Amino acid sequence: PLVATIASTDLGLLLRDDVFVDFFNTFLNLPVFGQTPIYISSTGQWHLWPELPSRLDPSPPALLAWLKKHRLPHFCKSSLCLHLVLCQKLLGFIRSGEAAKLLNWQSADQWLLEKCISGSQGMCHFRAQGMAGEELTNFWLTTERLLGLDESDTRQRDLYLSLLCRLKATHLREGSSVVTLCRTIAGSLPKPSHVQPISTRREILSKMQEQALFMIQSYWLPKFFIHCKMGMEEEKSCQPLLQEYRERLLQANLQEPSDFSENVFMMHIKRSQGLSGPYCSKKAKAEIWTLVNRGRDTQEMKMPSFQVQPGRQLGPAGSTRDSHPDKGALGPIPQQSEHPANTAFGGKGEATSPKRPRPSAEQVLHPEYLSEEKVLSNLRSSAPLAQLPSLKKPVKTLSFLPWALSADCCAGRPFRDFLNCQDRSVETLLLDLWHDLEEFLPVVLDPSTENSFFLRRLIGEKICKTYLEEGTIQQLPLETRTIRSLRDHLMSGEFSPWIFRAQKEICKVLCCFYEEFLADDDRTFLQFMVKGMH
């Protein structure tokens, strides 16, 4: 499997692939982490945030060793890694002779489509084409995760069964786009009353996944290409790209280099800008969130009313959020962008064009450019809907903890792993409950979701059975009224404001443990950096 290949490949080699760098940078800057570096492959330079004290002169090998041990394993378990795998498969198809023959593409068409779809932002827009295409893509991603698990491993069994139940409740139900497409294969799926060997189930799902991928490549990819070209015609910043595309159309057999950088730069780390105090990611996050809140206050003064655009969900602090992962960086760090075509997809195109003018000082204070908020505002998993307070003084960890917990789910669950290593079973159970409530919210609030009725019943019953039965309730340090009210509504798959009350109570319990997690991440990072100096 490609995920296993990524996990075992030398990180220095992986960083020569611009597509991998894009997804990995997005992952590294998810706000659950303490240290959030970003790599600029065009110069071979790493930017650290928070910066190290000026007395330290870290070496790139030490940084790569730390990333290999403490970031890459979580990346390989994250949803971003699955999106990378799908992106690589689509790019492989685009560059193939099969695609050129099947779709009558010229080399210039292939070049432009690569520019549009490469990277996390391109995949985000590709997935947002329409319900049928999105369902096929979601099925492929879920199946890819499931097939990468070993059901015989007790540590993976619960996740395996959970994903399998989710598939049956959504994509494998009669009338779904997947079943309609793969009807001949789906007809041989095991019925509830029959028990078939795991290999048979895996083989059937694998064949369905292949057929879904073929439909994505042969139908939804060309449709996306047409949508991109139409969008670029209206986007002024894309005119140079379109001009180059037209020039390439006149050059029939122009060979395009691969994503691997041919110019190998000496990898280096940007020196600290004179930071003399102790290294503390918790303090740095608080400073960023103070700017976020000030920027929100400034924007609220300019915009007396706030409306949510159709097709978008509310996120923490009332921000609108796309339903897919997006690219962003944390703090005042330059962003790398290889794909200006992304500005044509109906979004604002932040940080997508190398020629994009730098934001003004006023814009820098806007949450749109303070990317710790921006990264999570576009993640696929639901984000807490509670309004964060507008604070004039430095914020406390509890103020941004909901963002960090949302990011934990998208980042391969590093905070959960930390709690497990500390033998914090009750806190781990609380974190799992928080995430399951997060998963339930967008399903129950968006009736247009494929098979949303069955899915919300499935998730609601799972939450009640796992956390809210009499034997388990005694372990949860939550108010009895909160637990009982949750159970009464979730059993029938109904929305309840008690969800927010429960999440708030959970955050209060987990706050000090998240601060311990950040402190542990700081210690580990400093150990690697100091060791690398000797």
Q: What is the pLDDT of residue 295?
A: 65
The H or E element containing residue 40 is: strand 38-40
The H or E element containing residue 433 is: helix 425-445
State the number of CA atoms in the 13 A half-sphere of 310 facing the CB: 1
Could you give the CA distance from residue 88 to residue 82 in angstroms, rounded to a whole number?
10
Q: What is the pLDDT of residue 370?
A: 35
Determine if the peptide bond prior to 73 is cis (ω within 30°).
no
Which residues are CB-neighbours of 4 under 8 A, at least 6 positions away? 76, 148
CA 330 to chain centre: 14
Q: What is the pLDDT of residue 197?
A: 57
Instruction: Give buried/exposed letters for 195-212 (b at 16+ CB in 10 A, else e).
Output: eeeeeebeebbeebbebb
Q: What is the pLDDT of residue 174?
A: 79
Q: How many CB atoms lie within 10 A of CB 105?
A: 19
Could you give the CA distance from residue 426 to residue 411 in angstroms, rounded to a whole number?
21
Could you give the CA distance from residue 491 to residue 483 in angstroms, rounded to a whole number?
12
Helix-strand-coil split of the chain, %, nearest 5: 60, 5, 35
Mean pLDDT per 10-residue interval, the chain, length 534 residues: 87 94 96 95 92 85 95 95 96 90 87 92 86 87 92 87 88 83 61 56 90 91 91 90 89 58 72 77 87 65 40 36 36 38 42 33 32 38 39 71 93 96 94 94 78 82 89 82 90 88 96 96 94 66
The H or E element containing residue 45 is: strand 45-47
H helix runs in 170-252, sequence order: 177-181, 183-186, 198-215, 221-234, 239-249
Which residues are CB-neighbours of 331 under 8 A, at least 6 positions away? 36, 49, 50, 284, 288, 370, 371, 372
Q: Of 179, 181, 146, which is closest to residue 164 (Cα–Cα)?
A: 146
Q: What is the pLDDT of residue 63?
A: 95
What is the identity of the amino acid at 78? S
